Structure 1
Amino acid sequence: MFENYAHVHKEELELRHQFLESEQDMRDRLDYVDLIDVPDSYNGPRLQFPLTCTDIDLLLEAFKEQQVLHAHYVLEVLFETKKVLKQMPNFTHVQTSPSKELTICGDLHGKLDDLFMIFYKNGLPSESNPYVFNGDFVDRGKYSIEILMILCVSFLVYPNDLHLNRGNHEDFMMNLRYGFTKEILHKYKMKSVLILPMETNRDYDTDSTHNKVGVTFNAHGRIKTNGSPIEHLPKHEWEQIIDILWSDPRGKNGCFPNTGRGGGCYFGPDVTSKILNKYQLKMLIRSHECKPEGYEICHDGKVVTIFSASNYYEEGSNRGAYIKLCSGTAPRFFQYQVTKATCFQPLRQRVYTMESSAIKILKERVISRKSDLTRAFQLQDHRKSGKLSLSQWAFCMENILGLNLPWRSLSSNLVNIDKNGNVEYMSSFQNIHIEKPVQEAHSTLVETLYRYRSDLEIIFNAIDTDHSGLISMEEFCDMWKLFSSHYNVLIDDSQVNKLANVMDLNKDGSIDFHEFLKAFYVVHRYEGLMKPDVTNLV
């Protein structure tokens, strides 16, 4: 980027090389970033530092329109990200709570639509909606730089709530081979940024050993990468890095060479048990391998592989998935698959649409437990101020309603919060808007479904045996047959099939619970109707 955009003289050639290679010069980022001007004709996103959530929105919408972020901002984001990362520990400890879940995503590999789908289904990163991205952000897909920018900008806005783990593709040799470098050269039209190491320094020691990862060990315990020396590490330390980034679980006990990858190892269930017991851990959640369903559980439930890039090999080859963790509950898996029929509205609009239907249902649950909630609020309000901390309010909501939800992130939609961050708890029962009533039900089927909604939720979860939050069209039909048999409600199969297809909003052949909820919302009949207590859905 510097080579392409900085207008410098030939005598400054050495300065340019220092920019690419010198750690000391890279720290002084402003001296270089300022050399790359952003012309007035540039109509892409203009980031403002220090970054805020507004910049995340700006970036997302720009990438939806296939705009390219100017190199000036790319460099500034990268410099700032590096600065912050260098101040952080190698191991990050993250805690969950009943009101704060943690979402873990796997490989994205430059597939921007999958990242948009995750944000659509799960919400944007925030202090109340933390994420872990488990590496392999780039290569193979067409939008690696866009994914990297979204993740880095989100990290800079929420450094304590968005966590970036390194994968084996966060490596310059992998980027040269699998597409990220080529993408950068294409999008930023640079001519000579990288000095490719493949054709230089071929004087390997005769007793060196080679592997497919592109690493060479020599007799002195030092490493070379395809002939170009990189940071000097003792052999055993570099082998540890390779093992962490390249290894895969297998069903056979023991630890043996990973012949498929040419680097790292295969480790069996006995190795997993030994390591987890040694460090008093319950589970390993890792990525690195494409799975047909987007995730896989092995080693007696102790190892979970999560992979978030759907259609990785070709259209329809696999689903993507992410995991949600919450204190005291088992991991929950959410699957998806981006298809050509997927209709992407602007990101914020999609998120709000998804949330609004759920919020309407949730508010009705809140008002139905008003007395119990009021007593719980007042017990916590020792000063009788009419206010509680956000944690106290979330605790009451969780305890009384019995719903395992991210109450902190939902609070802005449910209550008034003062400038000090305290909740005016009686506002929990205000502004509960009931949709304009209709005079007649549109469908007997819809009325029946709503009348037994709680039963349907139980059946939904019973069929969803792997807790993926997703059921197929066939499973939906089976669910209806069970429901129909239990309640002796006769509905034609064609109606069920039609409803299932309508519910499948993104047309991926499956229904998740958000789609299920969004299909219905409560409206009340006119007060003058003969049955004043009956509710309808449209």
Structure 2
Amino acid sequence: MGCNISSSTKTKRSENVLRAALIIQNWYRGYRARLKTRQRYALTIFQSIEYADEQGQLQLSNFFTFMLENYSHIHERDPEFVNRLFGYALQDKGRQECVGLVDVPDSYTGPRLQFPLTFTDLRLLIEAFKRQQILHARYVLEVLFETKKNLKQMPNFTHVKSSPAKDITICGDLHGKLDDLFLIFYKNGLPSESNSYIFNGDFVDRGKNSIEILMILFVSFLVYPNSLHLNRGNHEDFLMNMRYGFTKEILHKYKLHGKKILQLLEELFAWLPIGTIVDNEVLVIHGGISESTDLNLLYSIKRNKMKSVLMPPTPVDDNYVTDGKKNKIGMARGTKVTTSFSEQLAKHEWEQVITVFSASNYYEEGSNRGAYVKLDFGLVPRFFQYQVTKATCLRPLYQRVHTIETSAIRILKERMISRKSDLINAFQLQDCNKSGKLSVSQWASSMENVLGLNLPWRFLSSHLGTIDKDGNIDYMSCFDDMHIQKPVQEVQSALIETLYRYRPDLQIIFNVIDSDHSGLISMEEFQSMWNLFNSHYNICIDNSQVDELARRMDLNKDGSIDFNEFLKAFYVVHKLDHLNKSDTKNM
């Protein structure tokens, strides 16, 4: 009897332990799934805002065309501005003019490159960048000059042959993430005659080490021109660089010669090949393929005229047309390779389309992995993923999700505050009882109608506002923890929001117009630019308010405005930041 009781007790205990383990397991799986959902929604915020910004960049490019058509004196007053935007050929500068009288002082302790470059220089450069040294402007200019000279000899598409002796590694966007490039080379080896690479554009912007990535890639290209291949991405574009950080990086690291470096980069980017074709079977190109894509047209265009990838040269050159009889695009003159590949492109006979993105932690630490693809002799792709691991990546999942989520909500709220007046108007139209509250459904509808970001607003509602016990949201609470700093208190909030919303666009426009790099704009230029901008973007703002604000920002009353400082005056103040600073002081 005793044995039976003991056995029965043990069985019950085992069942209880198993039941408890299953409960814990189910709870943890649900908890982890909820965290993953929060992470996915946070990444959706980042992506939606990024796509919206890209549409804004396209609209900005259209504005420059509109500006040229409507600003009658611009060509006579500033022909260099027109040449820069629309790709009219400028006279090539020689080495002396590019490198000029830039001397390397004896006190310089960084890497010293010897031309012609060798593998030793590549290793020296990589080791220096690992120690966070900055390459002297003299060497930067020389590398850029030599790279541009070599790129000018290349066709629009690079043809690469695979071989049994070596694989071909394809890397996607790096966006200034130098640690990712180091990790790729660590895992896959440095470029060499037996280790081929294709880097598919978007080397720069967003990250902090874009120029270092360019120097490593360009030196590798100069040392191994048949083993390292470069394609142009949409961020190899001076207009994109002004918005997404590369221009600022260059001017910060190279204060004395930064403008000369940027000018040479602008010319070099236009000479980067459009794409790479492997064994006439694999097309590596930055961007999508549409039904109207004509590879023969891409083979024949003068790519160096496209200073900005969003602004093709106008008017279209006659040399772009290969069938002169009917003024239509015909089959390009050339080899069977061109024809057969173009036919395949037209028929969309693709077995596989692969997107490769090589920048890990793109939006925030821990947000994503990077990847590269290796093609063997049979062109079978093998995929490799990685993530640069720092202290934040070693945190528990809930901490990493919290970091990503907090950052995403922060940039979303900044987008909301820039449309505060429009959002309040939309909320009040729905608020028939003037209660200051809406159902989550009404609130979500208003948010989407104004912001157009296609986000899961219902899920995000609790992160963005206060919800009462009845499930209604206090819509004014969405703006409680931030405001736009007003440089002039008397100016209407709608104007402040508009200037904040279009601040990146206005800054790019000013920097393009400011051809003498004085940093100043006259009141007349400001008013002319604003009138055109206002007309193109359909902004409903009283011009007298803008004029009054500009006059107040002319601090020394000399009739000129430091426009960059003018725009810096508009920034979002987060109450949480203020509280954190106060807490730090109290500690």
Indicate the TM-score class for this superposition, using the shorter chain for normalisation. Answer: 0.3 to 0.5
Higher CA-based Rg? 2
Determine which structure has greater relative contact order: mean sequence separation of CA pairs < 8 Å that are 6+ residues apart, divided by chain length. 2
